[in-house]
Amino acid sequence: MSNMTYIGYEFKVKPVQPGVEILIAELGYSGFESFVETKNGVTAYIQKEDWNEAILEDIHILNSDEFEINFTFNEIEQTNWNQEWEKNFNPIVVDDVCTVRAPFHEKPGTKYDIIIEPKMSFGTGHHETTHMMIQHILKNDVANKSVLDMGCGTGVLAILAEMKGAKPIDAVDYDNWCYLNSIENVERNNCNHITVIEGDASVLKGKKYDVIIANINRNILLQDMETYVSCLNKKGTMFLSGFYNDDIPVIKEACNTNNLELRFQLERNNWVALEFKKK
């Protein structure tokens, strides 16, 4: 995986909203995994191995008369990735309490200051789902609770959980770059209670957690739900995101079947983040 290459698409969209929102939703279902909204549209990234020349054929909005959409695309080698992000990566502040920034940004005055150097990994806080998961962690007491950050991306959610007193914490991702990037970010934020693991749900066998954070996508959540629930302690909390408002019924049904009860819901630009409690 060391020569992983991404394809980056720059879309210009008129009108920008709701065009960008619809476009991101459709691209997400087609395998694009990272998005940066721009003034005139959105830049979307997909791993080259997941890309094919017909990748945009099922993106219906491109054929809509209601929107004017132009795009260019190019290959991005891993070595150019930081340069790509530095072009687009502004610090974000969640609820005036938590800042997610790159090392080259000024130190903020917020209670939590997370420094992330993204290297082709998803989870800078800019995406709606990461933003909402940060909100969930901020409003919940996780002190001295064992936490799983499943599909950890940059490790940002695991890092925030440790800053709020959680321990021990496992941060798991099957993507090699995410795994390596999370290790770097954990060290960069001086975390001592996070173990970063490369793998999928199969690495969870025999593990138990008080809190599970899973910001992945609908299909993987549904596929691995039983495994997550088997790892969740009684009266434990599970935060799920990576899907849209329309997906809530099928996610909720899978959770109810596994003795999970919906307690709280956040929504941002049609993306949702749900909080469930184990009965």
Taking only the tens place, the pLDDT of each residue in 215-225 is 988 889 999 99
User: Helices 218-231 and 248-257 meet at what angle, rounded to 10?
Assistant: 20
Closest CA to 33 of 178, 157, 240: 178
Q: In Å, how far are 57, 147, 156, 185, 222 from 228, measured between CA atoms? A: 35, 12, 20, 25, 10
Q: Which two tokens stand for residue 10?
A: 């720059």
Q: Is 6 in contact with 120 (CB distance < 8 Å)?
A: yes
Tell me which of 179 and 37 has the higher pLDDT: 179
Q: In Å, how far are 58, 244, 246 from 177, measured between CA atoms? A: 28, 26, 31
Strand-pairing partners, residue 10, are 43, 72
Residue 81: per-residue pLDDT: 63
Res. 83: pLDDT tops 90:
no
Residue 84: per-residue pLDDT: 65
Percent of the chain with pLDDT over 70: 91
- Average pLDDT in the chain: 90
Residue 91: per-residue pLDDT: 86
Task: Kindly indicate the confidence band of residue 78, based on its pLDDT and cuts at 50, 70 and 90.
Answer: low
Of 13-17, 67-71, 229-233, the range with the lowest mean pLDDT is 13-17
Res. 169: pLDDT tops 50:
yes
Q: What is the pLDDT of residues 30-72, one digit of tens each?
A: 888 778 788 899 999 888 888 999 999 999 999 999 999 999 9
Q: How far apart are the C-alpha atoms of 194 and 222, rounded to whole Å? A: 26
- Whether the full predicted model's pTM is greater than 0.85, yes or no, is no
Q: How far apart are the C-alpha atoms of 211 and 233, rounded to whole Å? A: 8
Q: How far apart are the C-alpha atoms of 137 and 115, rounded to whole Å? A: 17
Q: Return the DSSP state at 105.
A: S
What average pLDDT does this structure show over 268-275? Answer: 90
CA geometry: angle 226, 214, 163, nearest 5 deg: 130
**H helices within the chain, ranges in order?**
16-29, 81-88, 128-139, 156-163, 176-188, 218-231, 248-257
Residue 244: per-residue pLDDT: 87
Q: Which two tokens stand for residue 181?
A: 């990037």
Q: Is 210 in contact with 236 (CB distance < 8 Å)?
A: yes
Q: In Å, how far are 40, 49, 71, 236 from 252, measured between CA atoms? A: 35, 32, 37, 16
Of 79-88, 164-173, 199-208, the range with the lowest mean pLDDT is 79-88
Residue 226: per-residue pLDDT: 96
What average pLDDT does this structure show over 195-212? Answer: 97
Q: How far apart are the C-alpha atoms of 163 and 175, rounded to whole Å? A: 24
Residues 6+ positions from 244 with CB-CB distance below 8 Å: 25, 218, 270, 271, 272
Tell me which of 274 and 35 has the higher pLDDT: 274
Residue 2: per-residue pLDDT: 43
Q: How far apart are the C-alpha atoms of 133 and 242, rounded to whole Å? A: 10
Of 35-44, 82-91, 177-186, the range with the lowest mean pLDDT is 82-91
Task: Kindly indicate the confidence band of residue 198, based on its pLDDT and cuts at 50, 70 and 90.
Answer: very high
Residue 31: per-residue pLDDT: 87
